[in-house]
């Protein structure tokens, strides 16, 4: 680094590798190397499970996120003992051109034959019993046991229960009106913040 800075200072070279394109390329190379190591470890473990979900980013592009989980057998320093570790890794986001279960199954980058567990939310393209990802995965590998996301299922139950409850609706609706009123003006928001600091109001989430 000292030699490199010396050449830059003495104008012996103009190549400093600080451009955004170079930095992004280095980051991508490192990311690919880490991802390959994770996938290789999963294949070495033979059996693994996955969790899939879809989300829309700020760019309004639908993306699929994948988490892989497997049991890793690592040898200790003396190589006599084997340490059993449960590994869970996030493999990144994949932009989706289609939201169908068929397309998401075809773009799977892992060996489905070794898949033993799959967990998704309650979207029909993921958990659908006819054309969802879980159905297509099970057709390829019947041992890929499917479990719906418990948190998402519970969330839907609580959401429906709250909608059926008059007391809950009569409470949350005014709270939402308060938020809409104050968030519609920076001056009103400043007044609210001054009187209720450090508290604030949040918008009513459709899924919470």
Flag whether the pTM goes above 0.85.
Answer: no
141 with 184, same domain: the answer is no
**Mean predicted confidence (pLDDT) in 150-172:** 82
**pLDDT tens digits, 45-68:** 888 998 888 777 677 778 888 889
Interior/surface letters 161-193, b for 16+ CB within 10 angstroms, e for the rest: eeeeeeeeeeeeeeeeeebeebeeeeeebeebe
Structure tokens given for 9: 């200072």
When pLDDT is cut at 50, 70 and 90, the band that residue 33 belongs to is very high
25 with 98, same domain: the answer is yes
137 lies in which domain range? 2-148
pLDDT score recorded for residue 1: 81
Q: At residue 140, does pLDDT exceed 80?
A: yes
Say what percent of the chain tops pLDDT 90: 8
95 with 20, same domain: the answer is yes
95 with 185, same domain: the answer is no
- If one counts the domains in the chain, the total is 2
pLDDT score recorded for residue 34: 92
Q: Which of 38, 41, 113, 49 is nearest to 72 (CA)?
A: 41
Using alpha carbons only, what angle is made at residue 36 by residues 30 and 41, rounded to the nearest 5 degrees? 130
Which of 148, 167, 188 is at the close of a domain? Answer: 148
126 with 48, same domain: the answer is yes
């Amino acid at each position: 680094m000292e030699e490199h800075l010396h050449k830059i200072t003495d104008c012996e070279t103009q190549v400093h590798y600080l451009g955004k394109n170079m930095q992004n390329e280095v980051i991508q190379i490192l990311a690919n190397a880490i991802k390959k190591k994770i996938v290789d470890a999963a294949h070495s473990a033979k059996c693994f499970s996955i969790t899939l979900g879809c989300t829309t980013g700020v760019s309004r592009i639908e993306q699929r996120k994948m988490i892989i989980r497997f049991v890793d057998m690592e040898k200790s320093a003396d190589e006599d003992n084997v340490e059993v570790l449960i590994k869970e890794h996030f493999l990144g986001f994949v932009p989706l051109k289609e939201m169908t279960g068929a397309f998401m199954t075809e773009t799977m980058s892992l060996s489905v034959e070794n898949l033993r567990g799959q967990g998704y939310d309650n979207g029909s393209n993921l958990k659908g019993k006819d054309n969802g990802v879980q159905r297509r995965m099970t057709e390829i590998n019947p041992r890929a046991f499917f479990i719906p996301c418990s948190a998402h299922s519970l969330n839907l139950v609580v959401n429906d229960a709250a909608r059926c409850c008059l007391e809950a609706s009569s409470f949350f609706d005014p709270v939402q009106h308060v938020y809409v009123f104050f968030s519609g003006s920076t001056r009103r928001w400043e007044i609210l913040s001054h009187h209720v600091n450090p508290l604030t109001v949040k918008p009513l989430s459709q899924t919470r």
